[in-house]
Amino acid sequence: MDALPESFDNEKAQTSPPQSPALAARALDPRQKEKFDAIRLACRDHDVVALTELALSDEGLMSDNVRKEAWPILLGASRSREQCDAENEKKSSWKKLPPHPDENQVKLDVDRSFIYYPTDVTPRELGERKDELYDLIVEVLRRHPMLGYFQGFHDICQVFLLVLGPERSVTAIEHIALLRIRDFMLPTMGPALDHLQLLFPLLQAVDPKLCAHISLTQPFFALAATLTLYAHDITEYSDIARLFDAFIALDQVFPLYLFAQIVIERRDELLSIPDDEPEMLHVTLSKLPKPLDLDGLISRAIELQKQHPPHRLSTWRRVSRYSVLKATPILRNSSSKPSPAEDLAKAEILFRKHCEEMERTKRRQEMLQALQKRRKPLIVTLTVFIAVVSVGLELYNRKHHGASMSRSVMLGVGGLWRILKG
């Protein structure tokens, strides 16, 4: 691991994207210096517990200088220089790998990137950043071709690129894609929508009146924010970097709890919208309020998750056992401490199993739909068939057994008809 800078006092000297205005405007106070020293020590010792506490405390990790070291550790993507060199020798150049089918869409999105930040670069430097972003996304997709790109993934990647730089970002984005937002990169958006279905049961547990009011619309209003880890909606670089401190330190369901907390704190505003205007509710919920008290929201959302953990929500059972919400925490908490490459390999296996499960579900739904379409013709055919069988059995019964068994025969035919009809 590269050594951390000896001093973080001179924030203005950094050429990275703008930091917190409070930090840029003055020298660090004793409390901030103490926190920087604690972060440096935790990074040196790879102390994930300490780093997590620091990332969740007020102002998060405070500076990109320390995020550059802390984020890979929190992601489980930290590697020694020797490990990096060994892996680079094994890997062929990503440019020689087969193209990913989504590369054209990546190019279109990258052309629209870096709209709000950084603000201190020339047009030439901005073009170089976009080239780096395109290479970063395409390299990850080519190395893991099963992943499906979605619009907004570039918003997440640009934050990591600005913080970590092009070389360190590749491994970090691999971990984000496969261990954090894997469900969003599956062939369909079904699993992502399963995440959103957790929102209403959560709100119902906290505020039934508010939940009933906004349930007039679908929870799609939370899709853009949770899909992109809020990188599409938050325009201040210092805010999104601080928010990523929390997302990286906590589990994969936390972005949804943060959105729920935002909704809860907008209670009066939302209840003032008439019940017969669900479109207005959707538009309001889709836009994050400004400004956001990020430190307060994060701490309150953490408490919300403690009080109402996801496994207690009624729609939790709909989430696949291969989902990033269920399977990946087991991976990350494994006592065997697998290497970053092993983590990614296991995540790819879960990804494929999830795809297979989705394909089975799709075939089952198609079969049921086909049966539903043929239901009426099938009932007519069965009716004729059973009628013929019943007449035949009746004639046979009269001829060989007399009329005494007719009633039992007809009862049996009637039971058969009810079973087949069902």
Side chain identity at 130, as an amino acid letter? K
Q: Specify the pLDDT at position 361.
A: 87
Show the tokens assigned to 368: 């049921």
Instruction: Kindly report the length of the chain.
Output: 422
Show the tokens assigned to 389: 């069988």
Overall pTM surpassing 0.85 (yes/no): no
Measure the CA–CA gap between 227 and 54, rounded to whole angstroms: 25
203 with 262: CB under 8 angstroms? no
Q: Specify the pLDDT at position 400.
A: 64
Cis upstream peptide for 118 (omega within 30°): yes
Per-domain boundaries in the chain: 30-182, 186-333, 337-398
Residue 392: its H or E element? helix 375-400
CATH 2.60.420.10 fits 30-182, yes or no: no
Q: Look up the CATH architecture of domain 186-333.
A: Orthogonal Bundle (1.10)
Q: Within its chain, how far is the Cα of 72 from the centroid?
A: 19
Q: Specify the pLDDT at position 365.
A: 82
pLDDT, tens digit only, all 422 positions of the chain: 343 443 343 433 333 444 444 444 446 788 889 999 999 999 999 999 999 999 999 999 999 999 999 999 999 887 655 555 555 555 668 999 999 999 999 999 999 999 999 988 999 999 999 999 999 999 999 999 999 999 999 999 999 999 999 999 999 999 999 999 999 999 999 999 999 999 999 999 999 999 999 998 999 999 999 999 999 999 999 999 999 999 999 999 999 999 999 999 999 999 999 988 999 999 999 999 999 999 999 999 999 999 999 999 999 999 999 999 998 765 555 455 667 888 899 999 999 999 999 999 888 888 887 777 776 666 667 666 666 666 666 666 666 665 555 555 555 556 655 655 55
Measure the CA–CA gap between 81 and 87, rounded to whole angstroms: 10
